[in-house]
Structure 1
Amino acid sequence: MKKNSWWMKGIGRTGGALLSCLIASQMLTAGGLLPGETAKAEAAAPAKVSTWMWNPYVIGNEREATLQQLIDHKVNQVFLFIDPEYPAEYYSRFIREAGLHGIEVQALDGAPNWVLPEHNKKMYAFIYWVKQYNAKVQPEERFTGIHLDVEPYVLAQWRQDSDKVMGLWMDTVSGFAQEVKAETGLTVAMDMPVWAHLFQVRDGAGGRTTLSNWMIRWLDQVTLMSYSDNAKDIEDSVKIEMAEADRAGVKAQVAVDTVDSGEDGTFYGKGTTAMNRELNAAVASLSSHSSFRGYSVHAWDNWRKLSQ
């Protein structure tokens, strides 16, 4: 999960796919409902404080300390990376104990090349693993959803032919949603860049809509990777996608970064006080959206080490 300053270079190759923000905003109502759309946000659902846990080994080696740190950070949702070779009992024990503290756990995985036909099967293997795991454990030890992180715009193929890769990305998202929804009770969740509204795609009903709107309507929950370090930029970066999520009835979270990415917009080196100040201001503004369900911090290993 990286914010790439050069992603815009690939947009110029889409030949008419790029929309201005004004045009995109006018297109928001154009998209019809997609097959399999079932998610509707509850009017009074509790706000989520989420984080990506890319290092799953801490739930075995440092389980008690990790749980306490999550509680101290007021986290109530974890996107936990899945290593299928890691002992299943580590996952079940962590999920069970996390649940006692009101922390739900979604299974996390993904890679940019999962959109490519030769690698797409890895996504289905991941989904299958989660379903098999959930079937074998007690209800309180199950993952509540599957969280996909696929960012194909970092691939060389995107710069070479972004139209083609975008089509593969859409196929991947729809295939992911359909496969996960075949298992009752699993939340369909995904990370999405905040510039996806700049692309126009077919809506499946004879019209056109934004790429972000098309993707959101397949999901139950979307995490918008704002990766900005001030409240105004956070709000501005997600306003179109939040409006789309409002109309689709899909839960939406905004995400900030704490990783030393070498780029602007991260809270690395700025401390938790500054991050909390900006997040509180952004939350106060974004709470007017019916879809808004809180914020996510990328990533756990960096967040827990962030200075005051």
Structure 2
Amino acid sequence: MPTGRTDAGTEPHKRGARAGKRLLWLAALLALALLLALLSLAIGTRSVPLAEAFEALSGENTTIGQAAVATRIPRTLLAIVAGAALGLSGAVMQGVTRNPLADPGILGVNIGASLAVVIAVVWFGITSAEAFIWTAIFGAGLTAVFVYGVGSLGRGGATPLKLALAGAATSIAFSSLVIAVVLPRADIAGGVRSWQVGGVGGATFERIEPVLVFLAVGFLISLLSARRLNSLALGDELAAGLGERVAFARASASLGAILLCGATTAVCGPIGFVGLVVPHACRLLVGVDHRWLLPFSAIGGAILLTAADIVGRLAARPSELEVGIVTALIGGPFFIFIVRRQKVRDL
């Protein structure tokens, strides 16, 4: 009996300690995100002192430095929002598929959105921002269903390895189709190729504003799916035994991830590996509970994409590398590490 009382008193203490540790990590990540946002405003072709950057944030626009900061504000905002969307969507996709390799880029969702946009531009002449966003979301959703269907064929259903292979094959095929669609249109080929790399350069508030509603809905749906994703992690049969509607849980969470991927691709182009790297890193900090993992993945994605944008500006001054290139350089080796760690026979 004394042992039982000791355990009963210790467990709440452990839960409180874990929650306190997570809150400390949350505060640290938010502080890091704020620091990187300030550095993003100050660093570029022309470096601006932080004091001058703060003056620009307060509305001053009388010096060259302050004018430079004013043009970087929407770029920094887009990097934060897009990174958060990609990090969160990656965590949701990994939870829905129970696949450690799930990522909007690896599963082909981003390139599917890109192909849909390119076809709509070349064949149907769409020009409005809303049309771009809806088309990208439609393409992302259709590709996600296709890849999951192909990966589910055969024995064992949708295993992580089969989904990764189906996504890789789809990405290669769709990339070739993008080139085939754009090739006859020399007038837009340069712009499409630049957009295909994935980046946040040239962002304006007018370009960002139409996508915010779609991202807000995607964020809300995804974050509200945390409890359902915890149930799915137990397995479909056990989740159903606990009263969870498995099909609805998987579909609703997937909808949130698709909205985030499609809307982000529409405004930034396809940016890979953020949704793979960030959730794995965040699990080391907060564990597998999606109620903590999802918001941490959003903050971590914002940090990674903002940092990648800063690195891209510093690496090729006075020119710059697009964030899609930087995240690929980070994510490629990480993907290989995950595959080797999980062992191919276990995927």
TM range (shorter): under 0.3
Give the structure-2-normalised TM-score. 0.25
Give the structure-1-normalised TM-score. 0.27
Return the index of the structure with the highest Cα Rg. 2
Larger RCO of the pair (alpha carbons < 8 Å, separation 6+): 2
Name the one with the larger strand percent: 1
Name the one with the larger helix percent: 2
